[in-house]
Amino acid sequence: MSEQELQQRIRLQLGSSPVRLWRNNVGALRDERGRLVTYGLCKGSSDLIGLRQVLIGPEHLGQTMAVFSAIEVKAPKGRLREEQRSFLELVERFGGYSGVATSVEEAARVLRLS
């Protein structure tokens, strides 16, 4: 299965849970005037980004809040680039959920759904 197919499966299968994930294409191209246009969240940002709903404890009076989530999708032999690793570590340091997934089950573990 290609990374693109896996990304789509993860998005569709986990999208009915308390998670919303969006495809994050990152790259650059030249416009009709030759200017470089970059797109995506930032260099190294994950393939899938989104929100994971969590119930907060008494200190927030039981409010439901969203936690930023990032999943880097890789084929079984895929390699994580250093800027991707740095992005995942940043998300974790700031309290988000992040990780690498080579299957829907691994993505669910990253999002703490299983």
Per cent of the chain over pLDDT 90 is: 81
Give the list of residues 6+ apart from residue 24 with CB closer than 8 angstroms, or none: 40, 41, 45, 46, 47, 48, 49
pTM of the model: 0.85
Model confidence at 60: pLDDT above 80: no
Range of the domain at 63: 3-110
* Of 28, 80, 76, 73, nearest in space to 50 by CA: 73
Model confidence at 104: pLDDT above 90: yes
What does DSSP say about strands 64-73 and 97-101: parallel, antiparallel, or unpaired? parallel
- Give the range among 23-37, 59-73, 98-112 with minimum mean pLDDT: 59-73
Beta bridge pairs of residue 68 = 51
Contact 37, 9 (CB under 8 A): no
What does DSSP say about strands 64-73 and 48-55: parallel, antiparallel, or unpaired? antiparallel
* Res 64: pLDDT: 83
Question: Which domain CATH number covers 42?
Answer: 3.40.1350
Domains in the chain, number: 1
* Res 26: pLDDT: 94
Euclidean distance between CA atoms 71 and 69, whole angstroms: 7
